[in-house]
Amino acid sequence: PLTESITLYNGVEIPKLGLGVFLMKDEEELVEAVKAAVEVGYRHFDTAKIYGNEEYLARGLKESGISREEIFLTSKVWNYDLGYEQTKIAFQETLDRLDTDYLDLYLIHWAAPKYAESWKALIELYEEGRVRAIGVSNFQIHHLEDLKNQELMQPMINQIETHPEFPQNELHEYMKENGIVHEAWGPLGQGKTDLFQQPVILGLADKYGKTPAQIILRWHLERGEVIIPKSVRASRIQENSEVFDFSLTSNEMELMETLNTGTRYGSDPDDQERLK
């Protein structure tokens, strides 16, 4: 069912499917999307300070009538708020905008300078019980190794760009070995790919009576990833949730690997200029 979850290494359960709200800048549109998502069973929402819509998300959840405890809520600390003190301030501001007194998951958005100091702040927030789980986003193996070498608590999750053209196989394996859950952003390729026209995907869509988007989302689930596809349209929000009633075989998963072109559409996490 739509409420299937993955257990993080600290025992907290994260629903496998969430609604991402990146680029949802229009308040009414976001509120309606959130209500539509709750209606069809979504219980997990992914935002970030930099999306500028935490308040709208809070309003959408309130209007949906769902109680806070039933929702898994993620937000992220932006690059200019990195550093120990500033991250703690940013966390409280995010809580205020989301109109809640705890988060389910708080992530460091990018490994910008001072990410290790921010990570120490997140560990404290976690130990104080103000956030149920903590993690990172756009971290490469060397960033994760850096935290490990400093003998700091391991992130429970790493949210990274992932789609069939860019499966992140090496990082995926590393995270698996280290018990870090793989969360995919841009799971549908952000509408920047021609994945929806690929014969491999169209063939599977035909076989299972599913849409290309559903085949791609199922591919992520078979790999053990958490997915947060974004759409503002109620019909697509529902379509993206109907991915728990079929599965892909290992042969079909191998076939999907032929779509791996190593194409990253988002920013390179090691581009220091961009992270300044």
C-alpha R_g of the chain: 18
User: Residues with Cβ < 8 Å from 240, sequence gap 6 or more?
Assistant: 17, 213, 214, 217, 229, 231
Tell me how far, at minimum, the Cβ of 151 lies from ligand NAD, in Å. Answer: 26
Note whether 104 binds ligand NAD by CB under 6 A.
no
Find the binding residues for ligand NAD in span 39-98 (CB under 6 A). 46
Amino acid letter, residue 191:
G
Among 36, 38, 73, 188, binds ligand NAD (CB under 6 A): 188
Task: Classify each residue of 140-163 as buried b or exposed e, where b means 16 or more C-beta atoms within 10 Å of its C-beta.
Answer: beebbebbeeeeeebbbbbbbbbb
Question: What string marks each residue from 111 to 140 as x (binds ligand NAD by CB under 6 A) or -?
Answer: --------------------------xx--
**What is d(CA 199, CA 71) in angstroms, rounded to the nearest whole number?**
37
Note whether 191 binds ligand NAD by CB under 6 A.
yes
Among 118, 162, 168, 240, binds ligand NAD (CB under 6 A): 240
**What is d(CA 233, CA 188) in angstroms, rounded to the nearest whole number?**
15
Opening angle at CA 158, ends 153 and 161, nearest 5 = 160
Among 15, 20, 60, 155, binds ligand NAD (CB under 6 A): 20
Among 72, 106, 166, 185, binds ligand NAD (CB under 6 A): 185
Binding site for ligand NAD (CB under 6 A): 20-22, 46, 109, 137-138, 159, 185-191, 213, 228-231, 236, 239-240, 266
